[in-house]
Amino acid sequence: MKVHTDYLWFNTKKRHEFVRITDDIAGIVSASGVGEGTVLVSAMHITAGVFVNDWESGLLHDFDVWLEKLAPAGLNYQHHQTGEDNADAHLKRTIVGHQVVLPITNGALDLGPWEQLFYAEFDGQRRKRVVVKVMGV
Amino acid sequence: MKVHTDYLWFNTKKRHEFVRITDDIAGIVSASGVGEGTVLVSAMHITAGVFVNDWESGLLHDFDVWLEKLAPAGLNYQHHQTGEDNADAHLKRTIVGHQVVLPITNGALDLGPWEQLFYAEFDGQRRKRVVVKVMGV
Amino acid sequence: MKVHTDYLWFNTKKRHEFVRITDDIAGIVSASGVGEGTVLVSAMHITAGVFVNDWESGLLHDFDVWLEKLAPAGLNYQHHQTGEDNADAHLKRTIVGHQVVLPITNGALDLGPWEQLFYAEFDGQRRKRVVVKVMGV
């Protein structure tokens, strides 16, 4: 059994950003030498997420509008009494999820035709990490 | 270490449908010969989900009503400028999640008394797949 | 390859409660002897969740208020025709998620600086379980 660990770093220019990382993960899986198994991709910061959806700019815009509606910035959150201003980012990342596990078959990501993996930043403009753990044979 | 891969196909009659798949996954786990490990069950299409909840028709109806409230169909989504009409399906599947990892203990799914696994279709009436990856010893 | 299974029991005093379990999981990982791998932590009851976020009481209060807004108690849920009164708990746990997979590196949980793991109870005051499955080498 092989276990291979890697990390991706992000420092987005905007506070909110969706960054496609499918190819980065495919590269790490290839480097791992794992032919059959899974890869865990998990945000290590609690105002960021990782999710699978469509690589279509209109839909990504819809996601942004929708998350703002469900978890608005600027409300009178108790978390802000600590000096933070990012409670909404904690909530938004909870909706999209902060990790996925992708299957590996025949040495490659086993994804459906439209599945793309995204890093979802909700409080950016600072350095953050995603951990990548490949396991299998 | 064993890794066993299988796929489930769906083509629901209705646009929205919850399909119980606990027994399908239990069968695949049994066929895999894995005694201790996990099984990843993941929707391969981005308008469908996989989730664990109660096998009770009233609650499944409540889920449908609730998801429609949180992520309504028929809004003026940017995604629809591509000719699609299913932006809400992408959002609904994000709320319920698109994958689960179930533990396998003593050769069987290690589930709580009421845990049932569902395939959640939000844009059906077409062929779609779920990937099943069993890993363990 | 090693696979190690354990369970955590909960019986919260309040109906809603967030219980920090990072140290419990770290202890199980340590006992497993796994140096490189993953640990699945999954609620076995369908009105409870498991999620990763910040250990800050104000933010946990914000989560509680927010979940009540997105999935209110006391509505006329069909599920309640069965005699239950906890449909909202099924929905709330769906938003936060019911399981996480944590990476293990060098024999310890490989977490970001602020990542803490919580058990999220939405219908407590009864005994419930979380399954913990450690896998790796």
The reply to whether residue C133 touches residue B61, judged by beta carbons under 8 angstroms, is no
Instruction: Read off the tokens for C69.
Output: 């807004």
Q: Would the CB atoms of C77 and B97 count as touching at under 8 Å?
A: no
pLDDT at position B10, please? 98
In Å, what is the CA distance from C91 to each residue of A89, B59, C68?
Answer: 21, 9, 10
Which token pair is C106? 């060098």
The residue type of C107 is G
- Taking only the tens place, the pLDDT of each residue in B73-126 is 999 999 999 999 999 999 999 999 999 999 999 999 999 999 999 999 999 999
Instruction: Please report the pLDDT score of residue C18 as a whole number.
Output: 98
**Tens digit of pLDDT for each residue in A22-42?**
999 999 999 999 999 999 999
Closest residue in C to A94 (Cα–Cα):
C96
Provide the β-strand partners of residue B5.
B133
Domain of residue B14 covers 2-136
Mean pLDDT for the stretch of residues B52-70: 98
User: How does the average pLDDT of chain C come out, rounded?
Assistant: 98
**Complex prediction ipTM:** 0.98
Interchain contact, A87 vs C114, CB within 8 Å: no
| Confidence at residue C5, expressed as pLDDT on a 0 to 100 scale | 98
Q: What is the pLDDT of residues A80-137, one digit of tens each?
A: 999 999 999 999 999 999 999 999 999 999 999 999 999 999 999 999 999 999 999 9
Quick check: B97 contacting C, CB < 8 Å? yes
Burial class (CB in 10 A: 0-12, 13-18, 19+), B40: buried
**Measured distance CA(B128)–CA(B10) in Å, rounded:** 5
Task: Give the total number of structural domains in chain A.
Answer: 1
Which pLDDT value is given to residue B118? 98
d(CA B88, CA B92): 6
DSSP A44: S
A38:B1 CB<8 A: no
Distance of residue B83 Cα from the nearest chain A Cα, in angstroms = 11
pLDDT of amino acid A131: 98
pTM of the shown model: 0.99
Q: Rounded to a whole number, what is the distance in angstroms from the first to the last CA of chain A?
A: 5
Residues 31-90 of A with CB under 8 A from C: 40, 42-46, 70-71, 77-82, 87, 90
Predicted pLDDT of residue C17:
98
Residue C36 — very low, low, confident or very high, per pLDDT cuts 50/70/90? very high
- pLDDT value at residue A117: 98
Chain C residues with beta carbon closer than 8 angstroms to that of B62: 77-79, 87, 90-91
Backbone angles phi, psi at B45, to 5 degrees: -120, 145
Name the residue among A37, A66, A103 with its Cβ closest to that of B42. A103
Which residues of chain C have a CB within 8 Å of the CB of B120? none
Q: Do B78 and A62 touch (CB under 8 A)?
A: yes
- Residue B29: C-alpha distances to residues B8, B36, B108 (Å): 13, 10, 7
CB-side neighbour CA atoms (13 Å) of C102: 31
Judging contacts by C-beta atoms under 8 Å, the chain B residues touching residue C131 are 103, 105, 110
Chain A contact present for B105, CB below 8 A: no
Query: Is the Cβ of C110 closer than 8 Å to some Cβ of chain A?
Result: yes
What is the spatial distance between Cα B98 and Cα A102, in angstroms, rounded to a whole number?
Answer: 11
pLDDT of residue B32: 98
For residue A133, what pLDDT is reported? 98
As a whole-number percent, the residues of chain B with pLDDT over 90 amount to 100
User: What is the pLDDT averaged over residues B33-47?
Assistant: 98
The chain A residue lying nearest C65, using CA atoms, is A77
List pLDDT tens digits, range C59-84.
999 999 999 999 999 999 999 999 99
CATH number at residue B124: 2.60.120.460
Average pLDDT for residues C109-118, to the nearest whole number?
A: 98
Look at residue C14 in the predicted model and tell me its pLDDT: 98
Cross-chain residue pair B62–C135, CB shorter than 8 Å: no
